[in-house]
Structure 1
Amino acid sequence: MLAVLTDAMPQMVWSTRPDGFHDYYNARWYEFTGVPDGSTDGEEWNGMFHPDDQERAWARWRQSLETGEPYEIEYRLRHRSGAYRWTLGRALPVRDDAGAIVRWIGTCTDIDEAKRASEQNELLSLELAHRIKNIFAVIAGLIGINVRQNPEAREFATGLRQRIAALGRAHEFVRPHSEGSRPAIGRTTLRGLLADLFKPYPAMEDGAISIVGEDIVIDDKGATPFALLFHELATNTMKYGALSVPEGRVAVTMRIEGDRAVVDWKETGGPAIEAAPSRSGFGSRLSEVSVEAQLDGRLERAWEPDGLRVTATVPLANLARGDVA
């Protein structure tokens, strides 16, 4: 009955004894790998992995056997064609009534197409980021050329180049990232992150944006999602909101409530708001995904008559590793 059930599954299914000795594979495994029945029993399964992945897979499997932790890893598995395809390997222990492990049940799922598509998207993202950096560099260079021709504009040009450099740093936080390309900022504070993010905007220097309240520890774990949210808010308020008029103001207030960080963005003095927009733009939806999906938080918008209010509530543990209190 078990063989019939596992053979009907789209994944490769395998099983081991408590010590990790492989003694069962379903038909899908042999169909994918093309190896003879029984040839990957015991420890021979590791030879099916790409040579560069074998030690890593062994180490992860030994850790699960020693600790009883679920097994999960991505590796390249040799296909019957001879090519190696990216595969997601998972396994869970089966325990008896006393809690002792009596068997491991695992699956292998072919993720090669999704993995390669993700890698291609990452390359495109890196290429786009590189070109945008080059644009910033070209603009700064053109400013420098003009300053040499017009020395009286040196002070203005220096400030402008500083704003361009700050915009480039902000771009690093708000562009799409993989785990490998995410900026490594170390532990900092949300106040410091926001101050750096708002530097390109004259309103920050003019005092039209204030950042007050209880500061919050943050590192690269939470920096990019928060940067994406506040970059979107700052861009929109400059175009349509409070900072689109000289008398407009924005106040960012931070506080800690129990195990959560609460950050409030409040606009005042801008164009009167009669009603909430009938539809949300892509940037707004992306901000929601950043806070709610990536940080497991809650994002609330209130279109108050005197200006937009946005409140982000996020578990402290999702903003930085270790103690953040």
Structure 2
Amino acid sequence: MFHPEDRELAWAVWQKCLRTGEPYHIEYRLRHRSAQYRWVIGRAQAVRDMDGRIVRWFGTCTDVHDLKVAEEQRELIARELSHRIKNIFAVVSSILTLSARGFPEARDYANAVRARLDALGIAHEYVRPHGPESRPPEEATTVHGLLRALLKPYDNSAGARFTIAGCDAHIGTQAATGLSLVIHELATNAVKYGALASPDGHVKIGCDTLAEQFRLRWQELGGPAVMGPPIRTGFGSTLAERVAMANFGARIEREWCREGLIVNFISSYDSLEL
């Protein structure tokens, strides 16, 4: 009944469970009465007597074939969309290279812009929806990892414009999308008006826990003196805040200190996993 490619693993896992008494949980393909193979989830739990000896196993077999097919289709579409978006980055990068050839004095500027485009492509790949085959390593899907990917286009070659410290936390795709919009907007505004507009300016980012909440603190230093909140809020900032609130209930607080802007981004741990 087992698909030839799944027999060895399913048997090895089952043998281990028989030896150790651990719960059995695995996905494999079984031959349906139609002669087609369908994906199922096999589960089994040991039933023990009063002395802890295993007397029998209770198991279930759940057909998840339609869900598997849907996941594979979604992964295919996500990969195709990601490929097309990265092609756009590549085309713009090529245009920059070709344009700079006729203007040697602009070559350094073109190289800097191209590096930022490459980093934006990496950030896009980081936050896009992933399936089991394309999902990045578990240690990479964290707040710190996302911050490093997003801020690389705004950093200098020495990597001295940003400091990331404090505790880290795993972040889900939905939360990563909202946080990416917020960080991108903060970095863009810092380049235009804040700490990154000055050669000596830098940004300190600290992460810590507050009760059952995760807090990210963005602090700009070394830039132009801040005279107070702006007269009006730009569309980008408004959109980023609304998406962050709608996606996972995050709260954003701003402090307009004379030394530089401070932004506190607060979310529950459960929402951060979305």
TM-score, normalised via structure 2 length: 0.72
Q: 1:264 touches 1:310 (CA, 8 Å); kept in 2?
A: yes
Query: 2 CA distance for matches of 1:147 and 1:83?
Result: 58
- Contact 1:232–1:284 under 8 Å retained in 2: no
Instruction: Using the TM superposition, give the Cα deviation of residue 234 of structure 1 relative to its aligned residue in structure 2, in angstroms.
Output: 1.3
| Cα distance change of structure 1 residues 278 and 229 upon mapping to structure 2, 3 Å threshold | closer
The residue aligned with 1:33 is none
3-state SS of paired residue (1:89): strand
2:200 match: none
Q: 1:311 to 1:142 in 2, by over 3 A?
A: same
- State the AA in 2 paired with 1:211: T
| Rounded Cα–Cα distance in structure 1 between residues aligned with 2:7 and 2:70 | 24
The 3 A distance-change label for structure 1 pair 302 and 151 is closer
CA distance in 1, matches of 2:230, 2:193: 11
In the alignment, structure 1 residue 116 sits paired with structure 2 residue 49: no
| Corresponding residue number in structure 2 for 1:159 | 112
Q: In 2 relative to 1, CA 94–188 (structure 1 residues): closer, same or farther, beyond 3 Å?
A: closer
Alignment match, 1:323: none
* Percent of pairs with identical residues: 40
Contact preservation (8 Å) 2:123, 2:146: no
Kept after mapping to 2: 8 A contact 1:272/1:305: no
One-letter code aligned to 2:107: R
- Give the aligned CA root-mean-square deviation in angstroms: 4.1
Query: Against the structure 1 CA distance between its residues 157 and 311, is the aligned structure 2 distance closer, same or farther, given a 3 Å change threshold?
Result: same
Question: What whole-Å deviation, never above 9, does each CA across 1:31-66 have from its counterpart, x for those lacking one?
Answer: xxxxxxxxxxxxxxxxx1111111111111111111
Picking from 234, 237, 247, the partner of 2:186 is 237
Contact preservation (8 Å) 1:302, 1:308: yes
Q: Indicate conservation of the 8 Å contact 1:173/1:224, yes or no.
A: no
> What is the count of residue pairs matched by the alignment?
248
Contact preservation (8 Å) 2:162, 2:205: yes
In 1, Cα distance between equivalents of 2:141 and 2:246: 27
Deviation digits for residues 101-132 of structure 1, max 9, x if unmatched? 11101111111111100010011111111111
For the pair 1:246 / 2:193, whether they are aligned, the reply is: yes
- In the alignment, the residues of structure 1 paired with residue 72 and residue 30 of structure 2 have an alpha-carbon distance, to the nearest angstrom, of 18
Structure 1 residue 273, shift from structure 2 partner: 9.0
Deviation at 1:79, TM superposition (A): 0.8
State the partner residue of 1:129.
Answer: 82
Contact 1:254–1:264 (CA under 8 A) maintained in structure 2: yes
Distance 1:209 1:283, change over 3 A: farther
Is 1:311 the counterpart of 2:260? The answer is: no
Query: Equivalents in 1 of 2:84, 2:184: separation in Å?
Result: 21
8 A Cα contact 2:179 2:244, kept in partner: no
Amino acid at match of 1:264: L
1:233 maps to a residue whose letter is: V
- Contact 1:303-1:309 at 8 Å conserved across structures: yes
The match for 2:24 is 71
Counterpart-to-counterpart distance in 2, 1:118 and 1:140:
33
Structure 1 position 168 matched with structure 2 position 121: yes
CA distance in 2, matches of 1:194, 1:86: 37
Residue identity opposite 2:89 in structure 1: F
Q: 1:97 deviation in Å?
A: 1.4
CA distance in 2, matches of 1:314, 1:118: 26
In structure 1, C-alpha distance between the alignment counterparts of 2:96 and 2:184, rounded to whole Å: 23
Work out the CA distance in 2 between the residues paired with 1:279 and 1:185: 26
CA apart distance, 1:256: 7.5
Question: Larger C-alpha radius of gyration, 1 or 2?
Answer: 1
Question: Which SS does the other structure have where 1:52 is aligned?
Answer: coil
Alignment partners' CA distance in 2, 1:281 and 1:186: 29
C-alpha displacement of 1:208: 11
Report the Cα offset of residue 228 of structure 1: 4.5
TM-score, normalization: structure 1? 0.62
Query: What's the secondary structure of 1:50's corresponding residue?
Result: coil
Pick aligned residue for 1:144 from 82, 89, 97: 97
Partners of 1:279 and 1:169 lie apart in 2 by: 20
1:72 touches 1:88 (CA, 8 Å); kept in 2? yes
Matched residues in 2 for 1:257 and 1:305: separation?
Answer: 18
The answer (yes or no) to whether the contact 1:144–1:157 under 8 Å persists in 2 is yes
